[in-house]
Amino acid sequence: MIRLLGALLMLAGSACWGFSGVLRLNRRAKALAALTGAVGIIKSEVCDRLSPVPEVLETLINRADKPADAFFRRVYKKLPKLGKSTFPELWRQAAEESPELCLKETEMTALYALGNALGRYGAEEQGRELDYIARRFEGFLTEAEAERKRDAGMHAALGVAAGVFCVIILL
């Protein structure tokens, strides 16, 4: 009975490991889609309405999709620290405190670049920079979607298969 219970737990644990990989791939694609949409909102607010960055962040908290909204809320909450740290530093700290975005290193670099550009130039120059960053995020999103389609099934199957394999060996 105990051996059976142990085998079931091992199977479940292994399957969970596999499905967490699937979840991570889904989350990354979702975060990149949300960030790509957010860059579009930023561009409208900055280039069309000339809204100051704190107001842009308020808009993003309300309008950006999950999980990007939580990241922008984090940046907004850090604004009272301006004067001690610069805005790009606060943005970077907020990004590092946002593991839910599940971004890879190159994607994080693009996110930092967004923080470096935001509010730093005139509307026209920022528009060009935002277009470039949006294209980068679109590229990452396409890549993440392809990776999800390609690897999600494999992650789930590997998890379950690893569990079955261990159970067979141990039983």
Partner 1 sequence: MSDMKTAAFDGVLNILPYALRGPASALPEDFKTMAEEIRLRVGQIPAVLLPDGESPLGEHPITPRDLECVFELASRISVHAVSGSIARGFITAPGGYRVGFCGTASVSEGKMTGFRQISSAALRIPREIKGAADEIMPRAFPEGGLRSILIVSPPGGGKTTLLRDMIRSLSYMGRRVAVSDERGEIAAMSAGIPQMDLGPRTDVLDACPKAQGILSLLRCMNPQVIAVDEITSPEDAKALVSAANCGVKLLATAHGDGLSDLKERHIYRQLSDSAVFDGAVCITNINGRRVYEYEELGRGEA
Among 120, 128, 149, 150, binds partner 1 (CB under 8 A): 120
Restricted to residues 3-62, the positions that interact with partner 1 (CB under 8 A) are 46-47, 50-54
Closest of 88, 150, 154, 140 to residue 115, by C-alpha: 88
CA–CA dist 35, 68 (Å, integer): 6
* Residue at token pair 């930092």: 112
- Does residue 87 touch partner 1 according to CB under 8 A? yes
Peptide bond into 67 cis (omega under 30): yes
Question: Of 50 and 171, which CB lies nearer to partner 1 in the complex structure?
Answer: 50
66 or 81: CB nearest partner 1: 81
Select the span of 2-10, 121-129, 137-145, 149-157 touching partner 1 (CB under 8 A).
Answer: 121-129
Write down the least CB distance from residue 112 to partner 1, Å.
Answer: 15
| Residue 84 is a binding residue for partner 1 (CB under 8 A) | yes
Burial of 144 (0-12, 13-18, 19+ CB in 10 A): buried
Token reading at 111: 């996110």
Q: Which residues bind partner 1 (CB under 8 A)?
A: 46-47, 50-54, 82-84, 86-87, 118-123, 126
